[in-house]
A and B are shown apart, each in its own frame.
Chain A
């Protein structure tokens, strides 16, 4: 092993890695940091949504593709009705409900990220640093938006449960 390789391997030893960093919001136990929870949730919900989206495009295309490859001998809108029949089972509804929650959170949090990252709004203005040294961004409007978004997402999620299971 060359020196450089040795250095690299040692370096990787102490790196926490992609999976831990993207899945565990408490990998670093920092106080006053709900943004990290939002970051992990944004990633996980994004993954759920893209998986659903790919399936959803295939599913909504069923009246078309079933003309070439009929399911159970059904094609066109009959195939659509057949698929909707499968999807009214409880496990499919549960999946739908999870996707609905993921979409709601991802959209609201994405809106906050749009404002902060793209427009540079809601982040702390530089101040003269004084003890006890609190970073201004952690008390800036973006933090309020974050709490609001958690609450609104939960309320809408409960409402969607009412729609989907009701």
Chain B
């Protein structure tokens, strides 16, 4: 979901009620629990959950790491929308008229405990599309002698997709994943497109064979919810349609892979040239003087 830039400047309701869907793997019980939390300006939903964990209920399980929208561990379903808890302001999801917010684990992922979900299927699917550069010349790839050429436009073609943080929000929102557990899912298909778009890559035939399967890219119905919830504008929906049309072109024999050549090696680094004796530092700077009286920078007191 696109960032709500204004949200952090707004004041959330003083006290909010958080309804959490909890799951205990030992007793196999699922229940809803309510907590009251006092808020402050700029509080995120992750802060709320940690506040609960710290002050009210230590048994609540939450996963997080970076708390700044970079690691992709804190995805939860807030009010029915998969979002990163750390990037969601309380003021964005509650109002004075309705100071209640529901938090659930991500749908389409098996739950480990409470809000923690199991990602191994997701990562296995990601691995299955070979998310690494494949070159015909493996020897060259292992011991590179030069660079692979890529101009800025070609870089933009893959930059957006490389921004994926593997948060799984797209996967949890997709209606096809909801029905077909074997569907590769938006993230893995988007990554296939990223490597097919990459001019340095030569493994497009292998990758096309992987996604052109029964549970591959043709399962997608372009509902675009994946793009609507993605916190990094990676746009898996667009990527999958691009992948499909390229796959059709490939099957019908019109596909031409853009491929970059290996550039020659950069010139060897020579010996470091020592400063000539007459070279000085900036005018007015006397190094010897500094050695005698070091400059002390005073920091303001806390």
A43 partner residues in chain B, CB cutoff 8 A? 221
Knowing A10-B111, A15-B107, A28-B80, the reply to whether A35 touches B222 (Cβ < 8 A) is yes
Given contacts A28-B82, A132-B3, A134-B233, contact A7 B110 (CB under 8 A): yes
**Complex Cα–Cα for A51 and B1 (A):** 38
Counting residue pairs across A and B whose Cβ atoms lie within 8 Å, the total is: 167
Q: Please, how many angstroms separate the alpha-carbon atoms of A113 and B117 in the complex?
A: 33
With beta carbons under 8 angstroms apart, the residue of A7, A10, A14, A129 that contacts B160 is A129
Interface presence of A127 (CB below 8 A): yes
Q: How far is the CA of A113 from the CA of B223 in the complex (A)?
A: 11
Q: Mark B231-252, 1 if CB is under 8 A from A, else 0.
A: 1111101100110111010000
Is B128 in the interface zone, CB < 8 Å from A?
Answer: no
| Interface flag for B179 (CB, 8 Å) | yes
**Is the CB of B228 closer than 8 A to any CB of chain A?**
yes
Return A80 CB to nearest CB of chain B, in Å: 39
Q: Is the CB of A116 within 8 A of B222?
A: yes
B228 CB contacts on chain A under 8 angstroms? 30-33, 36, 135, 138
Contact of A119 with B by CB under 8 A: yes
How near does chain B come to A62, taking the closest CB pair, in angstroms? 36
Distance in angstroms between the alpha carbons of A137 and B222 in the assembled complex: 11
Bound CA–CA A135/B233 (angstroms): 4
Is A95 in contact with chain B by the CB < 8 A criterion? no
CB under 8 Å from chain A, chain B span 156-188 = 156-161, 163, 173, 175-181
**In the complex, are the beta carbons of B175 and A36 less than 8 A apart?**
yes
If A22-B179, A27-B175, A118-B248 touch, does A16 touch B108 (CB 8 Å cutoff)? yes
Residues from chain B with a CB closer than 8 A to the CB of A14 are: 105-111, 117
Say yes or no: is A13 at the interface (Cβ < 8 Å to chain B).
yes
Interface status of B4 (Cβ within 8 A of chain A)? yes
Q: Are A13 and B227 in contact (CB under 8 A)?
A: no
User: Given the known A-B contacts A13-B110, A129-B232, are A137 and B224 also in contact in the complex, defined by CB atoms under 8 Å?
Assistant: yes
* Bound Cα distance from A119 to B241, whole angstroms: 9
B232–A22 touching, CB < 8 Å: no
**How many of A's residues come within 8 Å of B, CB to CB?**
49
Q: Which residues of B contact A118 (CB under 8 A)?
A: 244-245, 248
- CA of A124 to CA of B222, assembled, Å: 13
Assess whether A30 is in contact with B231, with CB atoms less than 8 Å apart. Answer: no
**B244 nearest in chain A by CB position:** A117
| Cβ of A91 under 8 Å from chain B | no
Q: Which of chain B's residues 87-119 have a Cβ closer than 8 Å to chain A?
A: 105-111, 117-118
Residues of A within 8 A of B (CB): 7, 10-18, 20-22, 26-33, 35-36, 38-40, 42-43, 113, 116-120, 123-124, 126-129, 131-138, 140
The 3 closest A-B pairs by CB, nearest first: A120-B245, A137-B238, A21-B175
Task: Identify the B interface with A (CB < 8 A).
Answer: 1-5, 79-82, 105-111, 117-118, 121, 156-161, 163, 173, 175-181, 197, 221-225, 227-235, 237-238, 241-242, 244-246, 248
Could you jot down 28 A-B contacts, CB within 8 Å? A11-B109, A11-B181, A14-B110, A15-B107, A15-B177, A16-B107, A18-B180, A28-B82, A28-B107, A30-B228, A36-B224, A39-B223, A42-B221, A116-B222, A117-B244, A118-B245, A120-B244, A120-B245, A123-B238, A126-B160, A126-B161, A126-B235, A128-B160, A131-B3, A133-B233, A135-B233, A135-B235, A136-B235
Additional A-B contact list (20), CB under 8 Å, known A129-B159, A137-B235: A11-B109, A13-B110, A13-B111, A16-B108, A28-B229, A29-B80, A30-B225, A31-B228, A43-B221, A113-B222, A117-B222, A117-B245, A123-B237, A124-B235, A126-B235, A127-B160, A131-B5, A132-B5, A135-B237, A137-B241
